[in-house]
């Protein structure tokens, strides 16, 4: 067991590498009947894309399963998945009766940790699934964040950041789960103390497609407003189309070329300076040089 715990801290490759499966089990690949296999009830991953499973099933029909599953024995001719549930589901869809697998020995705690590490290192889990699994491991096995950090090979600060996500309103957590927003958005929202403000800004993110940097700026603006006793406002007003047209006109006059200007609803955009030949390019460069000299 000491050897196993040492490997656990080194990450997935030390746990389920095809070349290192001899500890507490066999390194031989076995053909196991699908009917004898059951999913891991502690599987951190809770969502599986049906479209992606169909694609994998199609590949399995053509090429078979390239990477064997990793299972543990839970009785006579009964096995539970340690890693490879996605391959298991796709194999069933493909109509396979058996799958290649390694058989390992693992207790419930090790099973959860191994499944977690595999999914994290393959980036299969969303942020909320990771956070909830960290929370479960800490509570169920009485671990500190530092101890969990040692066991799964992640920095304690990383674990703490994920656990903070559980403090967000349920609607925001669902947005993270469904990848409507990402970790950067969520961490910015956590800087606001009130759930009502977090939800208000979350809805602004969805409505206007705000970037993480824009959200961070709004959080700072709202915090300053609260300190002054003012009510935080929604996202700053965007320029009107007429403002954009005026800006484009001024730029075209200044650079003596028909400047192209585009902007998305979220405020992102680009300015393009077209030229027809090298002489026009030279003129543009000269203008930029003069602007630089005047700084």
Instruction: Please report how the helices 278-293 and 241-255 are oriented relative to each other, as an axis angle in degrees rounded to 10.
Output: 100
Structure tokens at 105: 């020995």
Position 8 pLDDT exceeds 50: no
* Local confidence band at 44 (pLDDT 50, 70, 90 cut-offs): low
139 is catalytic: no
134-143 contacts, C-beta under 8 A, 24 or more apart: 134/159, 134/162, 134/163, 135/163, 135/166, 136/42, 136/112, 137/109, 137/112, 137/113, 138/163, 140/109, 141/109
Other Cβ atoms less than 10 A from the Cβ of 149: the count is 19
Distance CA 133, CA 112 (A): 8
Specify whether the backbone of 42 is left (phi greater than 0), alpha (psi in -120 to 50) or beta: alpha
pLDDT of residue 257: 80
Position 101 pLDDT exceeds 70: yes
* Local confidence band at 67 (pLDDT 50, 70, 90 cut-offs): confident
pLDDT of residue 90: 92
* Local confidence band at 36 (pLDDT 50, 70, 90 cut-offs): very high
Of 5-9, 77-81, 281-285, the least confident: 5-9
* Local confidence band at 3 (pLDDT 50, 70, 90 cut-offs): very low
Contact 112, 42 (CB under 8 A): yes
Digit-coded pLDDT (tens) for 197-206 = 999 999 999 9
DSSP, res 168: S
Digit-coded pLDDT (tens) for 132-187 = 888 888 887 788 999 888 877 788 999 999 999 999 999 999 999 888 999 999 99
- Among the listed residues 42, 85, 118, 129, the single catalytic one is 85
pLDDT of residue 16: 33
**Rounded mean pLDDT of the chain?**
78
pLDDT of residue 264: 59
Identify the burial level of 201 via C-beta atoms within 10 angstroms of its C-beta, where 0-12 means exposed, 13-18 middle and 19 or more buried.
buried
* Percent of residues, the chain, with pLDDT higher than 70: 76
């Amino acid at each position: 067991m000491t050897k196993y715990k040492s490997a656990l801290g080194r990450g997935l490759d030390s746990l389920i590498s095809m070349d290192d499966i001899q500890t507490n089990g066999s390194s031989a690949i076995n053909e196991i009947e699908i009917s004898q296999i059951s999913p891991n009830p502690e599987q951190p991953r809770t969502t599986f894309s049906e479209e992606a499973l169909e694609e994998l099933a199609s590949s399995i029909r053509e090429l078979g399963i390239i990477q064997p599953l990793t299972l543990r024995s839970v009785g006579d001719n009964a096995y539970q998945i340690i890693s490879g549930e996605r391959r298991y589901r796709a194999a069933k869809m493909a109509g396979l009766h058996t799958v290649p697998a390694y058989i390992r020995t693992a207790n419930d705690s090790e099973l959860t940790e191994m499944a977690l590490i595999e999914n994290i290192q393959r980036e299969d889990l969303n942020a909320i699934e990771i956070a909830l699994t960290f929370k479960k491991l800490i509570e169920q096995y009485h671990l500190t964040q530092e101890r969990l950090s040692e066991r799964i090979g992640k920095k304690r600060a990383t674990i703490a950041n994920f656990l903070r996500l559980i403090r967000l309103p349920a609607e925001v957590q669902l947005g993270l789960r469904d990848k409507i927003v990402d970790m950067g958005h969520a961490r910015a929202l956590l800087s606001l103390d009130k759930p009502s403000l977090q939800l208000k800004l979350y809805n602004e993110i969805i409505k206007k497609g705000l970037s993480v940097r824009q959200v961070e700026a709004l959080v700072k603006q709202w915090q300053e407003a609260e300190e002054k006793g003012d009510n935080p406002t929604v996202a700053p007003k965007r320029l009107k189309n007429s403002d954009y047209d005026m800006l484009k006109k001024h730029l075209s006059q200044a650079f003596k070329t028909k400047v192209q200007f585009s902007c998305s609803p979220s405020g992102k955009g680009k300015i393009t300076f077209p030229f027809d030949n090298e002489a026009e390019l030279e003129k543009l460069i000269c203008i930029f040089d003069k602007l630089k000299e005047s700084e």
